[in-house]
Structure 1
């Protein structure tokens, strides 16, 4: 693949301002008996790949970290990726979360998490939602996920959803990525209720087939798509693993197969990469089917490397993802 960060992409930066809300963690990747350290987390992965694809686009990352050396490194990494970090909260006595990936030969992975002292869980403590909402004024696209919801205490989750609803009333579009992790929820019934509340204020729903099956026991893509559309999402995208992507845009349903089989080294962040390319394409007014193709292509590049964030040199050229525009 031709190396490119997409710096030649023309984006109406003055009309779009993106915020990604969630948790960025320390990543330990184990493969073949070797360990590699990095950073990752669904919302951070989305923010990084979106910024790489559209460097002119202002992308703000919203999280909380500690006051320690690892948090300093994490913040420097976010800034080095070009993300706006002015609203990253620093909390004394807290640390970044950590996840350890063990990758099997087929690229599938097992995760082990340490989140007990995670600063991101305290993002909205002390009434911080008021200051955060002021800071996010003028945001045109705000992204959050099932993990964003799951890590927050009940009161903070309530405050976040209410804040997002107010932003939406003021013209901000909301993007919700399902990313259901059963281990982060006390029970599936609470997760269903909170997902329903999130979907009710969502404009663009990015769903995972495995998430929908685990959460709702849905087995048919139509049911998965229609559930989110009925809640009010104008665009619903269903990622069906390595096979295809299905979508519902208004009343029109479409399917885009994966262009060619991929030999996965590590499937971490495949869905986040797909989401980033999808959003980057749609922000350039590319039609849904070609946006899905861009998502497939970036996901294929990401799973060919270990860890969540691939080297910049491994990024596909913009023309490969979006065509010559």
Structure 2
């Protein structure tokens, strides 16, 4: 790992409401790339600079988000605050097995203008100088068509300057006008990815791949492909080699929120620290196994 690499994670953080068994709601904050940013910063500590790239409003919830991120050690220099706007909101409902259902209110979220405001220009200019740029399928969806095009150009320039691009596929059908629109957007950015952190179920839902072999065959140009498969072993293809790393058994699953995000963060941290793909995947499984035993996206430090 280069001395103190600079890492940028792009996406959306929302107000999170956890619907509890007694009918009460517990309010916190979460979002896939934000979850990954927090866990990545915790894993790497002061050995890296981790910045979050998003747009928020000028409301008290946005203030509280920024305060929490600063306490976690995230850099806020790439966070836009848009007057009169608000962050998105979602509610998590979990069943007896810890499986989750999400309800979203995000159509007017400030992040939709993240790459289209005048204030975005210096941010877009600075991103290609980062050592690692990380984003997700949810990032793609919420940025909109213009934002996606600007992101794509940023990824191309990042790689041209020697940076690495990391993508977590996180496909959410309801965020897209059609599956065809999602496929087109994914295909464009996947051509500019160095490490693909893919959830097998999402690959099936988006592209119809029947099994892991079809997934790996679909991405011959990506140097490192990690296939997350829940409680089953994750599968990795890196430098022409293939690995299977078993997940850790958990006695009781409380909430699977952020399981994939935390795995991705610990995996990336492991690789940045010089660990092998197998070592990084074990770290990913370890963190994810802790996360799913606690309610909410971010477990206490």
TM interval, short-chain normalised: over 0.9
**Deviation at residue 211 of structure 1 after TM alignment:** 0.3
Q: Highest relative contact order (Cα 8 Å, sep 6+), 1 or 2?
A: 1
Could you tell me which of 151, 173, 181 is aligned with 2:164? 173
Equivalent residue, structure 1, for 2:200: 209
8 A contact 1:274–1:295 mirrored in 2? yes
Give the unaligned 5+ runs of structure 1: 1-10, 313-325
8 A contact 1:13–1:58 mirrored in 2? no
Could you tell me which of 123, 128, 151 is aligned with 1:132? 123
Which one is further off, 174-183 or 32-41? 32-41
Could you tell me which of 18, 21, 28 is aligned with 2:10? 21
Equivalent residue, structure 1, for 2:38: 48
Structure 2 distance, partners of 1:262, 1:280, is 26
Equivalent residue, structure 2, for 1:248: 237
8 A contact 2:128–2:154 mirrored in 1? no
8 A contact 2:128–2:159 mirrored in 1? no
Equivalent residue, structure 2, for 1:151: 142
Could you tell me which of 221, 224, 228 is aligned with 2:212? 221
RMSD: 1.3
**Deviation at residue 12 of structure 1 after TM alignment:** 5.0
Structure 2 distance, partners of 1:215, 1:137, is 29
8 A contact 1:98–1:113 mirrored in 2? yes
Equivalent position SS for 2:45: coil
Structure 2 distance, partners of 1:41, 1:13, is 28
Equivalent position SS for 1:95: coil
Structure 2 distance, partners of 1:281, 1:196, is 27
Equivalent residue, structure 1, for 2:68: 77
8 A contact 1:225–1:236 mirrored in 2? yes
Structure 1 segments of 4 or more deviating over 6 A? Answer: none
Which one is further off, 128-137 or 100-109? 128-137
2:272 is equivalent to residue 287 of structure 1: no
Give the unaligned 5+ runs of structure 2: none
Task: Give CA-to-partner distance per residue, 1:12-69, whole Å, 9 cap, x none.
Answer: 543x110000001111011222321111100100000000111111000000000011
Structure 2 distance, partners of 1:63, 1:197, is 21
Q: For 1:115-126, list aligned pairs within 5 A.
A: 115-126=106-117
Count of residues in Structure 1 that have an aligned counterpart in Structure 2:
299
**Deviation at residue 157 of structure 1 after TM alignment:** 1.1
Could you tell me which of 169, 175, 185 is aligned with 1:194? 185
Could you tell me which of 32, 49, 54 is aligned with 1:63? 54
TM-score, normalised by the number of residues in structure 2 = 0.96
8 A contact 2:19–2:25 mirrored in 1? yes
Equivalent position SS for 1:136: helix
Structure 2 distance, partners of 1:167, 1:129, is 16
Equivalent position SS for 1:282: helix
2:23 is equivalent to residue 30 of structure 1: no
- CA 1:12 to 1:170, structure 2 compared with 1: closer, same or farther past 3 Å? closer
Which one is further off, 269-278 or 160-169? 160-169
8 A contact 1:129–1:163 mirrored in 2? no
TM-score, normalised by the number of residues in structure 1 = 0.89
**Deviation at residue 126 of structure 1 after TM alignment:** 3.0
8 A contact 1:141–1:175 mirrored in 2? yes
**Deviation at residue 221 of structure 1 after TM alignment:** 0.5
Equivalent position SS for 2:147: helix
